[in-house]
């Protein structure tokens, strides 16, 4: 100290200041030690997390073809608006609802749900807030990049289905995986993540594991605004496996046209190869547009459209082929006839039973539509004689009928490769149920069970399988739609996926002796090719064996308008060497021979043209709505041959 | 006589002090380049250093006592500049603060950085004469007045960050001018109790706004504070510092926090975070040591000062620099709220570098005159 100032403790005070400075700098040093030495790797990771982002590259989903290689479903690129989660982690998401819903035209309720979801997601995931963004939407995102750096536009393949709802029930549709599905282990294990597109219905759902590709990704560096600065790593996606189905699109379109033109525009047509179970046609009407689910469901209009579908009393979302159960009416008589012979209730030598114009059980008379004397089995089938089958049923007994049901698997699912198939309801279900309630099973109940009413409700697919199986001598194949899932070669980290075929279970064998088989087929042949109930659809040179059915919906006398009978026709052709088996159910239209048989005939015509390369014999005369056309060939269809029984 | 005094000046010139300061500026320039490799800030900084060295030499070879005599004139001139900068059209508005005067060709300069020097000279002049007995209330009030005028004007800009850096100047001068120890202790105790109490009261009564609370919360608990909102700067700064680890990332080609624009103001207020990211714990400790050496060197100079006035000038400079270093680095490390205070010798900015070197020039000048009496 160059000057004297000791009286003021100046030295001490300067020393105090110096110590204070050293202390403060030491505090900074300690803090640095904590941040850099102790927690350095933690912060390095945090820095990494905010600058590295994984952007998924969605894999194209497999294309679905028909049996001839025609495209049934494919994908095309669309643009989605994505909100990345990392950028909004600590923001109040509700502030986005107003500007996004107006700017991008999204339903605010839907947006609220989406933003709710984002909270439960792990880091690096993003949420799709608008699908199929228009160019105006893309421009909006672009223009608001500074305001909402969390938004980006991403290309994604989108499913494109056929127009007019063709094959909608078979193909199903895709949708975003639901939070509930994500919770389930079977989805978790397969590596599904939020936002993934998954098959929700139909073949899309059943064969999702084939159709689904493996998403690739780009690992990118982004700046604080989310703009991509560099691509560190890129993994190409592996496309999903293409699928060939057993469907024949040409036949399918014919069948759909038949249903569209039916009186109530409701019904089912199925056609399959009876030899192996390959389903060529599966049409259910009314139908819906699956593109709604893949393209429009996020828009307000799309959601309204969906709600309307769900509420529609005509249940367009239901696949009637496997989810509709109907009284099979007289089509029931075919397995009954086979079982009657097998069980010895009747014999080939003496198959005659009295018609009697009906039957009286106790004090109750159940009538037949005509009086057929004492017909044999062929004639009874041809004329669909109820009286004959009342008595056959009584001779077989309810146990015999139940054995028949069991033999032909009518009380089980067919095992078709579609979701939500339901089980037919038969005496095998109702009898034990009644007995549990203490109700006795009476003879009249056996009579009812013997002609496909009251206690008999079957799905069209189950009826077709039983009759088609009879057509090929008692081999009941499992109906299915998958022909082949094609192989996909190895891509980057994703292993090659081999071709897959339908894992076909052995057909169920119901032994039918040749002569018994011939007798029943003869009856079915006569239905179309003799003076039978479907003589109007006869095709010379292409012998159809079939059986009409007219199933009552309500009591006799009230069966008009919406409550008209269901019209059935089940068949195979050619009769003695079946290649194709077809069934039609036209809801609330009237006689099976008038409404269902011509619909099946139209399918056979198309099939004939394709396989024989010539015009089918006996030009097509199809029942157009209620207009009855006379058959071009053979037999004269008397009015109301199939009309029958009261309660 | 001339040659003799020239040779002695040369021998007594505090080269170490100047050299440390220059090295810190070079180190800082490297960091400015790391922070903004595509901008010309680092070149401007080197240019600023050149000018600053010229001014340092001029000041150091002038007799500080004559300059202290002229202090009132400088002080008034400084106040005039602070008034002028407030006039729209002359003063430039950046980030809502009208704190810069545009100089054609040279860029802009910030009067509030320079006015610290005349303020220090003015305080030293007032408190410099030999003292007997403790400081009176009247003297303290005058000191407060000398400080209050520029602070008031700076708050009109408004630049609270700069205003705060003025307080230690008076604090150090009063402390070294035999203010009663019990007053110092009382003030320290009072602030320890009053600041949290006032904060709690402010929160309760709603006087302290939500965003102000957030700034405090982010220091107490940066993990759970609003990291995207008011806590953003602090959180990103902490992440950037922590990321540096032991040795730092060095490579500037890498995607650094500043390059990806996660770290705001990387070349000015948050230059220390950039340093931490690129040079790690080692670089940061070396820099803090360099500051410690620089400040010790200045304190040593103060001890050797020929008179109280010189001692006060140097110590006020020490107080000012130490305070700025602590506030700035503390803010970068998430220990202090975000206040716009540059890190002396490191942050890009002509005004700050120039003002700091002029201050160092004064310290050298005072030491040079230690044998002259």
DSSP of B17-50: HHHHHHHHHHHHHHHHHHH-TTSSHHHHHHHHHH
Flag whether pLDDT at B267 surpasses 70.
Answer: yes
Render pLDDT for A330-370 as a digit per residue (tens, 0 to 9): 999 999 999 999 999 999 888 888 888 888 888 888 888 88
Percentage, residues of chain A above pLDDT 70: 91
Look at residue A641 and tell me whether its pLDDT is greater than 70. Answer: no
Chain A positions in Cβ-Cβ contact with residue B299 (cut-off 8 Å): 14, 17-18
B373 has pLDDT over 50:
no
User: With 60 as the cut, is the pLDDT of residue A630 above it?
Assistant: no
Interface of B with A in 286-345 (CB under 8 A): 288, 291-292, 295-296, 299, 302-308, 311, 315, 318-319, 322, 325-326, 329-330, 333-335
Token pair for B91: 């003063």
Q: Which residues contact B78 (CB under 8 A, 6 or more apart)?
A: B111, B114, B115, B117, B118, B119, B150
Are the C-beta atoms of A119 and A108 separated by less than 8 Å? no
Find the DSSP H helices in B61-90. Answer: 64-69, 71-84
Residues of chain B neighbouring A28 (CB-CB closer than 8 A): 288, 326, 329-330, 333
**For chain A, counts of helices (H) and of strands (E):** 22, 21
User: Å from A49 to nearest chain B CA?
Assistant: 11
Q: Are A122 and A80 in contact (CB under 8 A)?
A: no
Tell if the CB–CB gap between B239 and A41 is shorter than 8 Å: no
Contacts of B131 (CB under 8 A, 6+ apart): A5, A8, B177, B178, B308
pLDDT of residue A590 exceeding 50, the answer is yes
Q: What is the pLDDT at residue A122?
A: 53
pLDDT given for residue A356 in this prediction = 83
From A25, A35, A221, residue closest to B241, measured CB to CB: A35
B357 in Cβ contact with B45 (< 8 Å): no
**What average pLDDT does this structure show over A501-509?**
88
Contact A508, A409 (CB under 8 A): yes
- Per-residue confidence at B101, pLDDT binned at 50, 70, 90? confident
The candidate with the shortest Cα–Cα distance to A534, out of A582, A577, A579, is A582
pLDDT tens for each residue of B2-19: 444 555 566 778 889 999
Nearest chain B Cα distance for residue A147, angstroms: 14
Give the CA distances from residue B234 to residues A41, A69, B141, B329, B361, in Å, rounded to whole numbers and listed in that order: 18, 62, 37, 12, 35
Q: Which of A376, A321, A294, A244 is nearest to A585 (CA)?
A: A321
| Residue A87 confidence class, pLDDT cut points 50, 70, 90 | low
**How far apart (Å, rounded) are the C-alpha atoms in residues B163 and B155?**
7
**Which chain B residue has its CA at the smallest distance from A50's CA?**
B262
Judged against a pLDDT cut of 70, whether residue A147 lies above it is answered with yes
Query: Average per-residue pLDDT in chain B?
Result: 86
Q: What's the mean pLDDT when you consider all of chain A?
A: 86
**Chain B partners within 8 Å of A90 (Cβ):** 226-229
Nearest Cα residue in chain B from A232:
B255
Residue A636 confidence (pLDDT) above 50: no
Cβ of A2 within 8 Å of Cβ of B304? The answer is: yes
Q: Give the model's confidence band at B104: pLDDT under 50 very low, under 70 low, under 90 confident, else very high.
A: confident
pLDDT of residue B372: 55
The answer to whether A527 and A570 are in contact (CB under 8 A) is no
Residue B169 near chain A (CB below 8 Å) = no
Q: Is the CB of residue B272 less than 8 Å from the CB of residue B285? A: no
Higher local confidence (pLDDT), A631 or A122? A122
A470, A512 in Cβ contact below 8 A? yes
Query: pLDDT class for A267, splitting at 50, 70, 90?
Result: very high
The pLDDT value recorded for residue A381 is 93
Residue of B nearest to A223 (CA): B260
Q: For residue B178, list chain A residues with Cβ-Cβ distance below 8 A.
A: 7-10
Region at B170 (left for phi over 0; alpha for psi -120 to 50; beta for the rest): alpha
- For Cα atoms A115, A119, A121, give the angle at the middle one, nearest 5 degrees: 110
| Cβ neighbours of A42 in B, within 8 Å | 242
Say if the Cβ atoms of A2 and B307 lie within 8 Å.
yes
Query: CA B258, CA B242: separation in Å to the nearest integer?
Result: 14
Question: What is the DSSP pairing of strand A508-509 with strand A475-476?
Answer: antiparallel
Nearest CA in chain A to B320: A21
Chain A residues in contact with B292 by the CB 8 A cut-off are: 21-22, 25
Greater confidence (B12 vs A124) lies with: B12
pLDDT surpassing 50 at residue A173: yes
Tell if the CB–CB gap between B238 and A43 is shorter than 8 Å: yes
Say if CB A347 and CB A395 are below 8 A apart: no
Question: At residue B145, does pLDDT exceed 50?
Answer: yes
Q: Identify the CA nearest to B120 among candidates B128, B130, B108.
A: B128
pLDDT of B176 strictly over 60? yes
* pLDDT at residue A484 in the model: 94
């Amino acid at each position: 100290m160059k000057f004297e100032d000791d009286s003021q403790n100046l030295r001490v005070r300067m020393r105090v200041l110096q110590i204070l400075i050293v202390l403060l700098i030491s505090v900074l040093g300690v803090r640095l030690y904590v941040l850099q030495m102790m927690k350095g790797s933690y912060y390095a990771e945090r820095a990494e997390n905010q600058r590295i982002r994984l952007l998924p590259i969605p894999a194209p989903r497999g294309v679905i073809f028909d049996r001839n290689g025609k495209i049934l479903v494919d994908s095309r690129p669309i643009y989605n608006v994505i909100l990345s989660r990392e950028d909004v982690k600590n923001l109040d998401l509700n502030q986005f609802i107003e500007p996004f819903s107006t700017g991008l035209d999204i339903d605010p309720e839907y947006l609220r749900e989406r933003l709710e979801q984002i909270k439960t997601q792990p880091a690096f995931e993003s949420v799709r807030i608008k699908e199929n963004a228009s160019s105006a939407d893309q421009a909006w995102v672009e223009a608001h990049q500074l305001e909402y750096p969390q938004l980006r536009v991403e290309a994604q393949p989108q499913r494109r289905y056929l127009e007019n709802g063709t094959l909608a029930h078979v193909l199903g549709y895709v949708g975003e995986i639901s939070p509930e599905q994500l919770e389930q282990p079977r989805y978790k294990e397969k590596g599904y993540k939020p936002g993934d597109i998954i098959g929700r219905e139909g073949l899309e759902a059943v064969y999702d594991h084939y159709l689904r590709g493996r998403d690739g990704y780009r690992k990118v560096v982004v700046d604080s605004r989310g703009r991509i600065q560099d691509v560190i790593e890129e993994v190409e996606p592996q496309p999903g496996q293409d699928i060939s189905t057993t469907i024949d699109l040409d036949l399918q379109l014919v069948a759909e046209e038949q249903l569209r033109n039916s009186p109530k525009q409701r019904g089912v047509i199925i056609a399959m190869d009876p030899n192996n179970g390959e389903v060529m046609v599966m049409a259910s009407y009314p139908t819906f547009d699956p593109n709604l689910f893949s393209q429009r469901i996020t828009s307000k209009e799309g959601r309204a459209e969906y709600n309307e579908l769900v509420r529609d009393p005509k249940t367009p979302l239901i696949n009637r082929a496997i989810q509709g159960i109907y009284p099979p009416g007289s089509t029931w008589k075919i397995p009954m006839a086979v079982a009657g012979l097998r069980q010895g209730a009747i014999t080939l030598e003496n198959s005659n039973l009295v018609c009697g114009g009906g039957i009286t059980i106790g004090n109750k008379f159940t009538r037949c539509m005509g009086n057929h004397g004492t017909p044999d089995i062929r004639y009874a089938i041809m004329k669909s004689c109820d009286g004959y089958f009342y008595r056959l049923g009584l001779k077989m007994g309810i146990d015999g009928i139940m054995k028949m049901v069991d033999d032909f698997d009518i009380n089980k699912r067919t095992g078709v490769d579609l979701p939500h198939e339901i089980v037919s309801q038969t005496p095998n279900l109702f009898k034990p149920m009644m007995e549990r309630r203490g109700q006795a099973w009476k003879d009249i109940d056996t009579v009812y069970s013997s002609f496909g009413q009251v206690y008999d409700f079957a799905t069209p697919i189950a009826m077709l399988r039983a009759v088609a199986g009879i057509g090929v001598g008692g081999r009941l194949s499992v109906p299915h739609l998958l022909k082949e899932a094609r192989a996909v070669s190895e891509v980057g980290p994703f292993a090659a996926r081999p071709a897959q075929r339908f894992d076909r279970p052995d057909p169920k064998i119901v032994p039918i002796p040749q002569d018994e088989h011939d007798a029943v087929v003869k009856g079915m042949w006569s239905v179309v090719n003799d003076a039978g109930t479907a003589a109007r659809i006869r095709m010379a040179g292409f012998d159809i064996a079939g059986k009409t059915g007219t199933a009552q919906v309500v009591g006799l006398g009230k069966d008009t308008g919406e409550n008209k009978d269901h019209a059935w026709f089940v068949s195979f052709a050619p009769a003695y060497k079946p290649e194709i088996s077809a069934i039609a159910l036209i809801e609330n239209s009237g006689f099976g021979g008038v409404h269902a048989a011509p619909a099946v005939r139209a399918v056979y015509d198309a099939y004939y043209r394709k396989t024989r390369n010539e015009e089918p014999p006996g030009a097509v005369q199809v029942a157009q709505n209620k207009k009855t056309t006379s058959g071009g060939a053979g037999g004269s269809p008397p009015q109301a041959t199939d009309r029958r029984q009261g309660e | 006589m001339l040659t003799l005094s020239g040779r002695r000046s040369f021998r007594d010139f505090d080269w170490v002090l100047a050299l440390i300061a220059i090295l810190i500026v070079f180190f800082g320039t490297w960091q400015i380049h790391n922070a903004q490799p595509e901008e010309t800030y680092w070149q401007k900084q080197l240019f600023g250093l050149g000018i600053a060295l010229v001014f340092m030499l001029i000041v150091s070879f002038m007799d500080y006592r004559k300059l202290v005599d002229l202090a009132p004139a400088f002080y008034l001139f400084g106040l005039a500049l602070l008034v002028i900068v407030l006039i729209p059209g002359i003063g430039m508005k950046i980030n809502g603060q009208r704190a810069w005067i545009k100089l054609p060709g040279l860029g802009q300069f910030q009067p509030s950085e320079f006015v610290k020097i005349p303020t220090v000279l003015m305080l030293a002049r007032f408190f410099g004469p030999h003292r007997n007995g403790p400081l009176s209330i009247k003297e303290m009030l005058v000191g407060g007045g000398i400080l209050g005028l520029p602070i008031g004007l700076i708050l009109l800009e408004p630049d609270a960050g700069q205003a705060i850096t003025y307080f230690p100047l008076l604090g150090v001068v009063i402390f070294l001018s035999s203010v009663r120890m019990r007053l110092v202790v009382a003030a320290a105790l009072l602030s320890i109790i009053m600041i949290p109490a006032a904060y709690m009261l402010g929160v309760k009564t709603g006087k302290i706004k939500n965003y102000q609370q957030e700034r405090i919360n982010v220091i107490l608990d940066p993990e759970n504070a609003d990291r995207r909102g008011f806590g953003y700067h602090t959180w990103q700064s902490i992440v950037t510092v922590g990321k540096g680890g032991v040795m730092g990332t060095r490579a500037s080609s890498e995607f650094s926090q500043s390059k990806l624009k996660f770290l705001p103001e990387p070349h000015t207020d948050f230059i220390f975070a950039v340093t931490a990211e690129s040079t790690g714990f080692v670089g940061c400790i070396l820099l803090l040591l360099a500051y410690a050496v620089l400040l010790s060197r200045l304190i040593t100079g103060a001890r050797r000062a020929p008179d109280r006035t010189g001692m006060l000038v140097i110590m006020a400079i020490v107080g000012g620099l130490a305070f700025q270093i602590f506030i700035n680095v503390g803010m970068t490390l998430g220990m202090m709220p975000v206040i716009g205070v540059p890190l002396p010798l490191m942050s890009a900015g002509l005004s700050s570098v120039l003002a700091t070197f002029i201050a160092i020039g004064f310290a050298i000048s005072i030491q040079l005159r230690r044998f002259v009496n």
